[in-house]
Structure 1
Amino acid sequence: MSRDPRLVEPQRVGPDGQGGPSGPPDPLRLCTFATVALLGWLLGPVAVVVFAAVGFAGYWQARRAGLLRSRCKLGDTRLVLVYLAALAAAGVVGIVLGWWVW
């Protein structure tokens, strides 16, 4: 039985400069956080509404599929849904107040 050529192990560099499983971790989450922060800064409350709505839709679908606990700090998916709905509502208020003030 041969190995599937589409399954490729990522190359890693160990502390000794040689490849190995003890290579440095990829800080992809930090890049993701920076990108989300940039979009939030540029788009303001619109970004909050969009990200909260996408997150709410994802958690809603996951909850309906049976997910009861999340890796989110809030834990219970019901709390996460309430949190995301509150963020979306705050974003809408920010948009309305921003338009009203202008």
Structure 2
Amino acid sequence: MTSPPATKPYDPLRLCVYATIAALAWLLGPIAVVGFALLGFAGYLRARRQGLTRSKCVLRDTRLVLAYLAILALAGTAAIGWRVYQLLS
């Protein structure tokens, strides 16, 4: 009698990716926030132009995702400006 084929165990790769992004954000601070937000914004803008209107993102509507990413980029830029201001004063 042969045993049934073993199923592959779940690979939590996303968790490793999330941890890496969090580490980069922690190390680079607002620069990482701006970079990832702009990268995400560009990706969603391109996808929207190609017809994507619903996303797997929690916000679902790509317009909301674009607004969220734009706000993150602006907040990161403000934080960078604040840090530069503090260094120069």
TM-score between the two structures when normalised by the length of structure 1: 0.79
Residue 47 (structure 2) aligns with = 62
Identity %: 58
Deviation of 1:90 (Å): 0.1
Pick one of 36, 46, 61 that aligns with 1:51. 36
Deviation of 1:23 (Å): 2.0
In structure 1, the gaps of 5 or more residues are 1-15
Residue 64 (structure 2) aligns with = 79
CA RMSD between the two structures = 1.4
| Residue type of the alignment partner of 2:40 | G
> Which structure has the highest helix share of the two?
2
Number of matched residues? 85
Deviation of 1:24 (Å): 1.1
Q: Does 1:41 align with 2:39?
A: no
* CA offset digits 1:9-51 (Å, max 9, x no partner): xxxxxxx8x753x321111001000100000000000000000
In structure 2, the gaps of 5 or more residues are none
| Residue type of the alignment partner of 1:29 | R
Runs of 4+ in 1 over 2 A off after TM superposition: none
CA distance in 2, matches of 1:80, 1:93: 20
